[in-house]
Structures are given as structure tokens and as C-alpha cells.
Structure 1
């Protein structure tokens, strides 16, 4: 893996170049381009347990602390966690609430808007209401504005029959977006004045078992709207990218993977209204540019 210091240096070099390019464009056009930069991380899965395979649960607080320090310097418009703040393996509510408090307190060090996406491991020991109350998350699915975009957070943590995940009553491969949420999504996109970004825990690209069973139904709504510039997800710790019918689907690497901060994973994402997307990855998260 690349060292975090090297990645940081590359990150700030890229940021300076990006700012220079934006400034040049502004001079030429006589206007300031409306690009949005936000911070993103996924799957810290904090827990006081021994490492299992490539997952180092106890190292996630140190990784998130480094991540938040980097975001504090970069000053993105907001930071979003794409789910699985805790591992939840103990299934004990009090134990996992202690783990959640540890990792959430670190997230709260970011002095700016912060957002959560519900992950399956977040619901191994909690109900959705319990997780929402502990984190200040407004609802299991919701939307917010981050100029110039409408940002839509989806919740695919439902089992067959659209039963909400709660306290481990599910298999992680049994994931669905319920009909009422699909109706809500369609309405949100219709009333969006401009382009939209979508955030989920489970990837919507349909590549494998990490995707919701009815991911194709969700994609159809996104495609029909003509407004979605990109979708960002976690869940599959390997990360990845796939473009489906014109929409790019990005999967962010899992923070819990690998020992120590040298194996961290997070990113700064810059999106332009024209559809240009630049991901500056840190640690294990690759960088990429899509125009």
C-alpha cells in the first residue's frame, strides 16, 4: 500500500492544480465554476475485537482521526460516511453503543456538515431509530442540498418482504429498497432543480451480491430522471467503479481493511455540474478522473 504521507502530498498537489484550473476557467468565462468538493469514507466498522482476516477493527479510530484531520485542512463542503460505523459483531446494544460513541465522537471533530448512510453492520445490534438517535441522522433515507446539487441518501437495509433491518434480523446479502422509498426517490428527482448525487451503502451497480436485490428498479428511476450525475456507495471493501447506462457508480474502499493508518482509505471528491468527477484517494483508495 502507498504510505499516507505520500498520498497526502499528492492530494494537496492535486488540490492546488485543481484550484488553479478552476481559476483559469473562471477568468476565461468571466464566472466562477460551480464545483462541489466533499469528503467521503466508508466502512470503518469499529469494534473492540481481534483482527479477522484483513479487517483491523481496533485501528479504525486512528484511521478516522487522520481522515478528519485531512478533511479539516481541505475544508470540503461536507463529509459523508457511507455506512458501517461499527462492526456490531457482539450483538450487544450497550457494547456497540460504546463503540459507536467512540467513532462518532471522532467524526464530530469535523467542523462542518456531516452526513450518515445506514449500513448493515450498523443494525447488527441497533434498531434504525436507535442508530439515528445516537448519530443525529435525520431519517433512514433523506435528501439535502449542497450547491449546486441535490444530494439523496438511500436506505437499502430491508430484508425480503421489506422488513427493516434491526438487531441482526437479516442476512447481509438480502437487501432491498422498499416501494415507498422508490416513490419518494422518484418525487425527489422530479422536484430537483438541477443535477443530483446519490449516496447508498449497498452499491447499486448490480455487479454482485453486494447490491440490493432490486437494484435494477432503483437504477431505472435514476436513469429516467436524467438528473443523476453519480452514485457513491460502500459495503464492498475492495472498492470499484462501473458505468451503467451513462451513470457512473463509485464504490469507496473499506476503511477497516489493513493494519494501521498507512492502510487508511478515504477520498475528496470534486464534481462539476457538467459531470466532471475527480476523486483524490488517500491510502488504499485509488484516485481517478471522469470527464
Structure 2
């Protein structure tokens, strides 16, 4: 190993998807068990030297009041907590849809920050979707049109539970990557939906982001949840790491610590999450 000390370390949690409802055994999802698993994960992560812990969406499965229970578990975390929404976080009453990002304590639906010389970029793949805005909203209509176009060409990710990003957010992402490149910063992008390899869970316009990352040349990794079985791919300069869903399985947990070195990324998996060494 050429570098002994990582540039930084951070924790990753995906899809706790809590609700006070019976398990769906056909999907192996145990919604009521997530607060206990999350508490156990936080206890472990509290013992680690980390810059922050990110949760990659789907904190709840449904119902606004579910946020109270699952967010209270984070009170015991000693690290900075970075939260972002998934599709299920919008399974709330229509009048609450506009409040989801604020409930998660986000500074904005998409934003970026730097730690240890690395730029971290949070995207919001729910922006153009059937669930983040009510019927009649312009973005809801845009999502309907986008899904119809994808269905027409037989796209495997033309699913109502996937979302996409709008033109304004894409231009912001493009500019943010260019700014990081000018500063000589490598970039890690994080969102709820996978982008690569091709999968039924992928972001509705995911291939456009993959092309942008290849063009930018400074995105070393994209991290996501949503596809609960997990996945891994690499194209161009970028690793695409899909973390497994915490809500799945009755008792076994899943979360990770990610270490970034000058020459590689180390994923230290706990429970069902696999450990990986990803050369840069």
C-alpha cells in the first residue's frame, strides 16, 4: 500500500426506510427494525475517526410522522450528519412535499462542501419525479413526459419510483465540477439513485451525468443507495458504488466506512456491505 494515512474517512448509510408498519416479507423489508439497526451503526461509527456520515436517502418508507422516530436516532451521532432524500421520503401528504429537504436539515436540495481537499457534491435525483411535486406542478408534468419518452424506447429504468434532475441542477453540477477542476480538487458525488451500470433503478437521465463525469475527469466516485441489493461499476475515471439497503433483512445490518487515499478508495463494509479496494 503506497499511502499509509487516508486523506479522509467518512461513514455511509443507505435506505433505513423506517415506518411503523408490518414487514413486507416478499421484499425482505423490516421497516420497524431500522431504528435499532441505525442505532447500532451509529454506535460503531461513533468509535471511528470520521469527517462526516452520509445517509443516501430513504430515511422513511412513508408518513410524515416517521421522520420523528428515525431522525431522533441521529441525536446520538457525534459526527456531522449529511442527509439527503430518496423517493420514499416523499411518501407524505401533498402539503408536506415542499418541506422534506428542510426536515432533513439540508442547506439546499443540491449543494457541495469540501473536506480534506476533496469536493463532495450532493445531487437531488427526486427533482423531476412523480412523487416530489403534486399533480399539476410543472415538474410533475415534466416527469410524466420524461417517463413516457423512456417507455417509448424500452428503457429498463422507466419506472414510477425513479426520478431525474432538471436542467438548472444539471448546469449547476457542470459548473461545480468545472470549479473543482480549476481548484485542483478531486470530487465525490453522492445521490440516491444509481447511474451506472444500467439497471431498472437508475436515475431517469443518469447516462447524461455519466457522460458529464467522463468529460470532467475529476469525479473519482459516485455513491448511492435505492437499489437495495447493491452494485458496483466503473466507467472512465469514476467508480459507481451502490450501497445496500439497511431496511432489508430482519436483523443483519449494513453500512460502511469509506477511506480515500491518493491512489485508491477503500470501502470497509459492515454486516451485508462488502469491503472493496478500488484503485484510482
Calculate the aligned-residue CA RMSD, in Å.
2.1
Trace 1:178-197 onto structure 2 (pairs within 5 A): 178-192=166-180, 193=183, 194-197=185-188
Query: What secondary structure, in the 3-state scheme, does the structure 2 residue paired with 1:107 have?
Result: helix
Match for residue 175 of structure 1? Answer: 163
Give 1:75 shift. Answer: 2.6
Pick from 251, 254, 270 the counterpart of residue 265 of structure 1. 254
3-state SS of the aligned residue for 2:47? helix
Unaligned runs of 5+ in 1: 1-20, 27-32, 89-95
Query: What whole-Å deviation, never above 9, does each CA across 1:105-129 have from its counterpart, x for those lacking one?
Result: 1123212211112200001116453
Distance 2:44 2:165 in 1: 33
Partner SS state of residue 243, structure 1: strand
Matched, 1:150 2:119: yes
**Shift of residue 166 of structure 1?**
3.4
Distance in 2, Cα, partners of 1:85 & 1:248: 24
Provide structure 2 residue ranges, at least 5 long, that are not aligned to the other structure.
Answer: 144-158
Secondary structure of the structure 2 residue equivalent to 1:197: strand
Cα distance in 2 between the residues matched to 1:284 and 1:60: 14
Task: After the TM superposition, list the runs of 4 or more consecutive aligned residues in structure 1 that deviate by more than 6 angstroms.
Answer: 167-170
The 8 Å contact of residues 234 and 253 in structure 1, kept in 2 or not, is answered as yes
Matched, 1:278 2:266: yes
Secondary structure of the 1:58 match is helix
User: Could you tell me how far 1:279 is from its partner in structure 2?
Assistant: 0.6
TM-fit CA distance, 1:46? 0.2
Bigger drift between 231-240 and 206-215 goes to 206-215
Contact 2:265 2:277 in 1 (8 A): yes
Matches of 1:167 and 1:60, distance apart in 2 = 28
Encode CA deviations 1:57-115: one digit per residue, 9 max, x unaligned: 00000000000001100131100000000001xxxxxxx23211111111232122111
1:61 maps to what in 2? 35
- 1:44 partnered with 2:20: no
2:225 to 223, 234, 237: 234
How far apart, CA to CA, are the structure 2 residues paired with 1:288 and 1:273? 16
Partner residue of 2:240?
Answer: 249
State the distance in 2 between where 1:143 and 1:135 align: 16
Correspondence for 2:7 among 10, 35, 38: 35
Pick closer, same or farther for the CA change 1:105–1:80 going to 2, 3 Å: same
Specify which of 202, 214, 222 is matched with residue 213 of structure 2: 222
> 2:54, 2:81 within 8 Å by CA — same for their partners in 1?
yes
TM-score of the superposed pair, with normalisation by structure 1: 0.81
> Over residues 160-219 of structure 1, what are the superposed CA-to-partner deviations in whole Å (9 max), with x where a residue is unaligned?
6xx771369786444211111110001101111210000010001142121112111111
Supply the distance in 1 between the matched residues of 2:200 and 2:18 (Cα, whole angstroms): 23
Total equivalences in the alignment? 251
SS in 1 for 2:29: coil
- Decide which of 45, 48, 71 is 1:74's aligned counterpart: 48
Supply the distance in 1 between the matched residues of 2:23 and 2:211 (Cα, whole angstroms). Answer: 39
In structure 2, the partner of 1:100 is: 67
- State the distance in 2 between where 1:273 and 1:104 align: 34
Q: 1:265 to 1:34 in 2, by over 3 A?
A: closer
What CA distance in whole angstroms lies between the structure 2 residues aligned with 1:220 and 1:164? 26
The structural deviation recorded for 1:159 is 3.8
After superposition, the C-alpha distances for 1:204-260 in whole angstroms (9 at most, x for unaligned) are 114212111211111111111111010100000000101122311000000000012
